[in-house]
Amino acid sequence: MTRVSSTARAAGIVTVVVAALLGSAYVLGRSLVPDQTRQHATGVTTEGDGPHYADQPAEKPSTGSSTGTATGIPTTSQSAGPSEAGQDGSGQDTNEGGLFGAHTSTGSGRVALTFDDGPDPRYTPQVLAALREYDVKATFCVVGENAQDHPDLIQAIVADGHTLCNHSWHHDVSLGNRSTDQIRADLVRTNEAIRAAVPDAPIVWYRQPGGAWTAPVVSVCTGLGMTPLHWSVDPSDWQAPGASKIATTVLTQARPGGVVLMHDAGGNRQGTVDALSRILPELSARFELEALPTNPT
């Protein structure tokens, strides 16, 4: 009986020691992961000062496949060169070069600057000021919850003559995989938040977060009178590579008819703001810059 008790006691001590070691390892591992920026399934990260978004990098799906990622979300290239942007051989991009017919071009020789994920009270006013300085009109693809939180910035965007674009309510990258009723409710809710700030402003463009286009999301947005908008130039500014790299990418990849993707919210966008001081004068000297039309064909 004494031997059994001693053996059991020893086994118990070993179990406690092992459990303590495993617990310490778990705590150490957790401490190495920053709690303030944990990724959610919707493509949204949260930090202490509010929601942060980032369009997810996507690769063009292989031939015969409509899904380009492990999540089953159809994707298309975010950094399409001229041949991928739908050029017709004349040096001018054609309208519909993206997945499911999403527009990657202005349809003319003009170039469109677009800014996603806002409005943001830190960066959107700086972007507006830079555009105003160089007399450039752009397109702002706004997130519904941010439009609701900052109606004054939506009003400022419209007052400066820029075009508005629906960018979903909560930047849900997987929105296109949801039911058509859920997609419609999301887009309608976003439009309502925008129109609460600017009742008469046209909303005729829709950009899917992450460029994760699907047939249902295109069908719903067109059914609501919006045109799907993709891009042909992506400097990946959401990764905050620095103002110099952002500017260099935009200036070297821009072509007639190009649609340039940038961000005025969703994270630290100071690099984007700073890059505009180089992008705007140099791009304006080469192309006519436009806000996308409010009556697309």
As annotated, the active-site residues are: 116, 263
Cα–Cα distances in Å, from 256 out to 27, 104, 137, 278, 286? 54, 11, 16, 19, 9
Side chain identity, residue 68? G
Own/partner contacts of 78-83, CB < 8 Å, gap of 24 or more, are 78/211, 78/231, 78/234, 78/236, 78/261, 79/233, 79/234, 79/236, 79/253, 80/104, 80/231, 80/232, 80/234, 81/253, 82/232, 82/255
Nearest Cα neighbor of 101 from 218, 232, 258 is 218
